Amino acid sequence: MAQAPFIVSIFKFVLLTSCVKAQFDYFQMVQQWPPATCSGVRCYANPPAMFTIHGLWPSNYSNVPLVCAGQPFNPAQIATLVPQLNTYWPDVISGNNQRFWKHEWDSHGTCSDPPFNQLQYFQTTLNIRTNHNYDLLAILNTAGLGPTATNTRQYGAIEGAIQAATGKKPGLRCNKNAQSKKKQLFEIILCFDKNGVTLIDCTQFAGITCPSQFVWLHRPPLSLVSAVGELKNSLVHQVSILKFLFLCILLSVTIMFRKRFYGTRRGGGKQE
């Protein structure tokens, strides 16, 4: 009988631990607009004009921190997903995609384990991004609210277009453009139930940061440094093409000369 309280205590501890590890209330599916990401930092390449995955973030409706106790990142577990991950979940800043995936798993994915192991976490994220019903750029382009270099966008208009297409309210985040100092669309959040499938309304807990008006650019405006860099890269590229063409012409002339020279010598020998 003396062992009974001890067994009950162990049972309560295991139950409490399990609840704490799965304590999150919902997921934030965060997609970033790479031209906005690259407006304040130097990215390794021109940013793609498409929404890419920032991460799938377990979240709650309070300020209580999550306990993240999932397994360490193991790239072998997501090897079959790498082609899709490279397309939809790239590291647009440095190009080190696997390091980015590891960071997102360590920072957020481990908070969803359980119920999601590493493969399920990344697969669930890809399922959302590749679902045409949640194609944010297509939704906004169809509504005539795509990126523009001239017009400002209204928070209510973009939120309304996405809500009309998906049935649920998104969240919008903005950052400051490094050149113009204007607020610009940076991320769009779709919120999902803990199962990672059911779309739900995003609330103020999603970290909404956009004002009522902001810009949404196709690409970041060129600063003097980036403009010089692009010009340099362009000139290097053009010089490389010219060098290649010159070598081709030189090789062709050499071949023609050799044919004529050796052909004349062979012909002269026969006449003798």
> What are the domain boundaries of the chain?
22-219, 222-272
pLDDT score recorded for residue 64: 85
Ranges 64-73, 95-104, 158-167, 245-254: which has the least confidence: 245-254
Residue 125 has pLDDT above 70, yes or no: yes
pLDDT score recorded for residue 258: 61
3-state DSSP assignment of residue 28:
strand
Minimal CA–CA distance to 90: which of 44, 136, 131?
A: 44
Minimal CA–CA distance to 207: which of 187, 227, 223, 221?
A: 187
Residue 127 has pLDDT above 60, yes or no: yes
Residue 5 has pLDDT above 80, yes or no: no
> Band of the pLDDT at 249, cuts 50, 70, 90?
confident
pLDDT score recorded for residue 246: 64
Residue 196 has pLDDT above 90, yes or no: yes
The predicted model gives 2-13 an average pLDDT of: 43
Q: Is 144 left (phi over 0), alpha (psi -120 to 50) or beta?
A: left
How far, in whole angstroms, is CA 18 from its chain's centroid? 31
How far is the C-alpha of 50 from the C-alpha of 59, rounded, in Å?
25
Residue 55 DSSP class: E
Interval 66-105: pLDDT, tens: 989 899 999 999 999 999 999 999 999 999 999 999 999 9
How far is the C-alpha of 114 from the C-alpha of 175, rounded, in Å?
33
Q: Residue 188: beta bridge partners? A: 31, 172
HEC readout, 159-228: HHHHHHHHCCCCEEEEEECCCCCCEEEEEEEEEEECCCCCEECCCHHHCCCCCCEEECCCCCCCCHHHHH
The DSSP code sequence of 115-159 is T--HHHHHHHHHHHHH-GGG-HHHHHHHTT----SS-EEEHHHHH
Phi, psi of 218 (to 5 degrees): -60, -45
How far is the C-alpha of 270 from the C-alpha of 272, rounded, in Å?
5
**Which of the residues are catalytic?**
54, 104, 108
The predicted model gives 231-246 an average pLDDT of: 53
The three-point CA angle 108-171-160 to 5° equals: 150
> Band of the pLDDT at 269, cuts 50, 70, 90?
very low
Q: How many Cβ atoms from other residues are within 10 Å of residue 261's Cβ?
A: 10
Residue 229 has pLDDT above 50, yes or no: no
Residue 268 has pLDDT above 80, yes or no: no
Residue 9 has pLDDT above 70, yes or no: no
CATH superfamily of 22-219: Ribonuclease T2-like (3.90.730.10)
> Band of the pLDDT at 165, cuts 50, 70, 90?
very high
Buried b (16+ CB within 10 A) or exposed e, 157-175: ebbebbeebbeebbbbbbb
How far is the C-alpha of 50 from the C-alpha of 136, rounded, in Å?
9
Q: Report which secondary-structure segment, H or E, holds 56.
A: strand 52-59
